[in-house]
Each structure stands twice: as C-alpha cells, then as structure tokens.
Amino acid sequence: MSLVLYEVEDSVGIITINRPEVLNALNSAVLDELRDVLRKVDINTVRCLIVTGAGDKSFVAGADIAEMKNLNSREAMEFSVKGNNVFENLAKFPIPVIAAVNGYALGGGCELCLSCDIRICSENAVFGQPETGLGITPGFGGTQRLIRMVGEGMAKQMIYTARNIKSDEAYRIGLVNSVHPVGEVLNAAKKIAKQIAANAPIAVRASKEAIHRGRLLPIEGGKLVEERAFGICFETHDQQEGMGAFLEKRKEKKFTNN
Ligand code: COA
C-alpha cells in the first residue's frame, strides 16, 4: 500500500499521507513518495491540491521519531534537507495547496500544513512544535515559517515551550482560516478548491507566484513582481473571457487555461 495516496476528483488533486498506524508520521519513505506524487500532478488539468491525513485522528503526528532516534548529526541534517526540499516544493507548487488538517498536526505535521497556501482544520485538530521536548529543533521549516504565519512572539512561545494548541486557539492566532466539525474538513477543503478551480487558472497560478516570490522581497521589488504578473494576464484568452463575461452580464465563463 502506498504511503502517500493521490487521487483526482474533478479538477482537484487529493494527497493523503497514509500511515494511520503511526498517526501518519513522516519517515524518509513518506517524504520520497510525497516528492514523487508532486512530480506527477498534471497542472494543466488539476487546479488545486488538498493535503490531508488518513484516518480520523491525525493529519500528521510529526517526523518519525523511531526512524530519527539513532541518526548521527550528518544523517539528521540530510533528513532535514530532504523534508525542507519536499515542503518547499509544496510551498512554491504552481497551483494552490490546501491543508485539510483532520487531527494532530505536530512537528513535521505542523510544518507540512505551514507549507500549504491555506489551512483549515477539524475541531479535534491539535497543533504544536514539540521538538524541543525531544531534544531537537524543528527541522522541516518550523523555525522559519511559523514566525511568518503567527508572528514571532507566538511562534517562539510554541517552539520554546513545546506546548500543543487546540483548534480554537489555532484559529484565534491565525494559524488556520476556519474550524469544522469532525469528519467535515475534507469536504470544506473541496468546497474551497472548487471555488479556486472555477477561476482563471493562469491568473490563480500567477497570483500564487507573485505572492510567493514577492514576500521574500522588499515591497518595491514585490510590486515589480506583481506588475509583471498583472501584465502577463492580459496576453491570455481567459482575461478576455472573464472581463467579457462581466461586461456582457454572462454568468457562464469558459476559462480555457490559455
Ligand atoms: N513518530 C513515530 N511514531 C509515532 C509518532 C511519531 N511522530 N506519533 C505517533 N506515533 C506512533 C506511536 O508510537 C504509536 O505507535 P505504537 O502503537 O506502535 O505504540 C502510534 O503512533 C499511536 O500513537 P499513540 O502515542 O499511542 O497515540 P495517542 O493517541 O496516545 O497520542 C500523540 C497521540 C500524537 C499525542 C502522540 O502519539 C505523540 O505525542 N506523538 C509524537 C508527536 C511528536 O512529538 N511529534 C514531533 C516529532 S519531531
């Protein structure tokens, strides 16, 4: 059985981390499979990805502690590089990625959802960076992405104390956009994905690229990235279609990804 499942429903790709017996903990093989799944996503037909965890208890309960326990320093650094590379691929993946957090999102699980564009969760979700309690630092982006998401003060508190937070607190600090009853988070993610899929694909991809590239730059540089993206849209059929539909008071739009 694959450790990472991939299915396409309409134009939405659903990636499921599939090791429910260990609460979907990320070992090296899972990271390899996730990398390979991302390579096979056809961005000409798939408009949005959803990442979730198998079972009803856990999104991802972290990197695999049993696998990590006896790593030496060099091997540990290589594991961190591997995780960071896969998660960075997700963060800059050409189409939007939604994390449907259906339970524990601890350590690497919290970092996995941080590398997605949008995070929503179920009421039983638990977030945290427990690494310092295990004698290590976060290694798959937690020290970098969490501060950008929830601010430095809250991120430092979460990392230094290793305290887990529940879904209501995650919502309050802006870690997730919405909280859903248990069992409903995947459908909620599909609903958002369908809204994204209904829009002009080139415009959505260009928006993601502008946001991703621009936020690493000073605002002046970021605006240049935006201006270029904006201009490129005006070379597309879909810009004519979208604006034409508005002016002709047409509800139906035929975006062709061109
Ligand atoms: N790595 C390896 N195995 C893990 C794991 C992880 N990160 N998280 C859970 N598991 C395994 C457990 O060892 C257990 O395996 P077993 O049945 O062979 O004993 C199984 O998953 C179920 O976990 P269990 O701890 O029995 O479930 P629980 O409901 O009592 O507790 C958690 C759930 C998430 C609170 C607890 O599993 C936990 O704290 N996990 C580690 C979280 C963590 O520190 N992640 C960061 C790693 S850097």
Of the candidates 88, 123, 131, 209, the residue annotated as catalytic is 131
Question: Per-residue pLDDT averaged across 165-174, rounded?
Answer: 98
State if residue 62 touches ligand 1 by the CB under 6 angstroms criterion. yes
Distance 64 CA to ligand 1 centre (A): 9
What the block records as the tokens of 110 is 């919290």
Q: What is the pLDDT of residues 35-64, one digit of tens each?
A: 999 999 999 999 999 999 999 999 999 999
Distance 109 CA to ligand 1 centre (A): 12
Q: What is the pLDDT of residue 196?
A: 98
The residue with tokens 């959505």 is 204
Confidence of residue 117 (pLDDT cuts 50, 70, 90): very high
Q: What is the pLDDT of residues 4-40, one digit of tens each?
A: 999 999 999 999 999 999 999 999 999 999 999 999 9
Distance 38 CA to ligand 1 centre (A): 26
Confidence of residue 137 (pLDDT cuts 50, 70, 90): very high
Position 1 pLDDT exceeds 90: no
Distance 61 CA to ligand 1 centre (A): 6
**Average model confidence (pLDDT) across the chain:** 97
- Please say if 131 is a catalytic residue: yes
Domain coordinates in residue numbering, the chain: 4-197, 201-248
Q: What is the pLDDT of residues 178-227, one digit of tens each?
A: 999 999 999 999 999 999 999 999 999 999 999 999 988 999 999 999 99
CA dihedral over 156, 149, 144, 36, signed as positive or negative: positive
Q: What is the pLDDT of residue 112?
A: 98
Instruction: Tell which one of 21, 22, 57, 134 to mutate to probe ligand 1, the residue whose CB is within 8 A of the most ligand atoms.
Output: 22
Compute φ and ψ for 252, nearest 5 degrees.
-70, 130
Instruction: Tell which one of 17, 65, 80 to mutate to probe ligand 1, the residue whose CB is within 8 A of the most ligand atoms.
Output: 65
Pick the atom of ligand 1 nearest to 22's CA: 21
Match domain 4-197 to its CATH number in 3.90.226.10, 3.30.499.10, 3.30.200.210, 3.40.50.300: 3.90.226.10
User: Ligand 1 atom 6: the closest Cα is on which residue?
Assistant: 64
- Please say if 7 is a catalytic residue: no
Compute φ and ψ for 147, nearest 5 degrees.
-65, -35
Distance 23 CA to ligand 1 centre (A): 6
State if residue 107 touches ligand 1 by the CB under 6 angstroms criterion. yes
Q: What is the pLDDT of residue 216?
A: 86
Position 130 pLDDT exceeds 90: yes
| CATH superfamily, with its number, for domain 201-248 | Lyase 2-enoyl-coa Hydratase, Chain  A, domain 2 (1.10.12.10)
